Structure 1
């Protein structure tokens, strides 16, 4: 893995541990919540459905948005099609391309999942004073942005 520029900033061990542990814990929570719904979804399935509902209607768009390979996205989409949550049609402009669409059942699944995840987030932030939430949001946005830059650089560098 290529070396990334490192700042002189000191990061205490607790912050380091939390930055590593929190995403894993949140991922497990998302899986638990989404897996308890009807229909059951994985986090990747949920993200795919919500992105198609939001206008990402090609495999390549989904792959780029999710930093995933086309075979991974294709496999995920195929499973959602088999379950009746997505449909595929042939593009009017390119016979080789397919266009993804969300079914009523898929849209209902996204709405149910959105509500469940919204409730989870409300629970998670319940002990954070309202005036501190913008600071938390800014810190999370910064971590997300830096992780995205790191990830994209790694992809460009051949990793």
Structure 2
């Protein structure tokens, strides 16, 4: 019996990529915009980048270079973000005891409260998004998102970072 190979398969794959592309870009944009709006509506408004910076400092990333590496950002970008948080009283800097050229970052009590409020509102958002998803589908989603995240990180490092 002869195997018939369909010429439609590549077309379907191309159509699927277009559909996947549109969905992935749309979901990312919707999540980003909603997260930004939720964080901006807090008693101490934050941008998403400010929220991530505070969260990471609270989590132990206490140098500009650590933050830059973790976030795949340039040092000037991180420095500008930290300066804004310091001016708002959400973060402080001190001289490093081990390196005179370095500074150590600290979240203030107000910064910790702002980060906690941001985390709470974003967790509620996540809870609302996933409320109708069955546990097995949620596990599949987590697995798929991890794969996409790793692929996006690899692509970024290989093709975008340093341009």
TM-score, normalised to structure 2, is 0.88
Counterpart CA distance in 2 for 1:14 and 1:86 is: 43
- In our comparison, the structure showing a higher alpha carbon Rg is 2
Q: For 1:25, which of 30, 33, 37 is the aligned residue?
A: 30
**Structure 2 residue 157 is matched with structure 1 residue 152:** yes
Q: Secondary structure at the match of 1:112?
A: helix
Alpha-carbon distance, 1:128 to partner: 1.4
State yes or no: 1:116 paired with 2:121: yes
Does the residue aligned with 1:93 lie in a helix, a strand or coil? coil
Q: Could you list the runs of 5+ residues in structure 1 that have no partner in the other structure? A: 1-7
In the alignment, the residues of structure 1 paired with residue 124 and residue 99 of structure 2 have an alpha-carbon distance, to the nearest angstrom, of 42
How far does residue 10 in structure 1 lie from its aligned partner after superposition?
2.4
Provide the residue aligned with 1:48 in structure 2. 53
Structure 1 CA distance, aligned partners of 2:141 and 2:33? Answer: 21
Q: CA RMSD in A?
A: 1.6
- Bigger helix share: 2
Q: 1:64 aligns with which of 57, 69, 73?
A: 69
Counterpart among 8, 13, 33 of residue 10 in structure 1: 13
Structure 2's unaligned 5+ residue stretches are 1-9
Q: How many residues align?
A: 151
Bigger shift: residues 147-156 or 37-46: 147-156
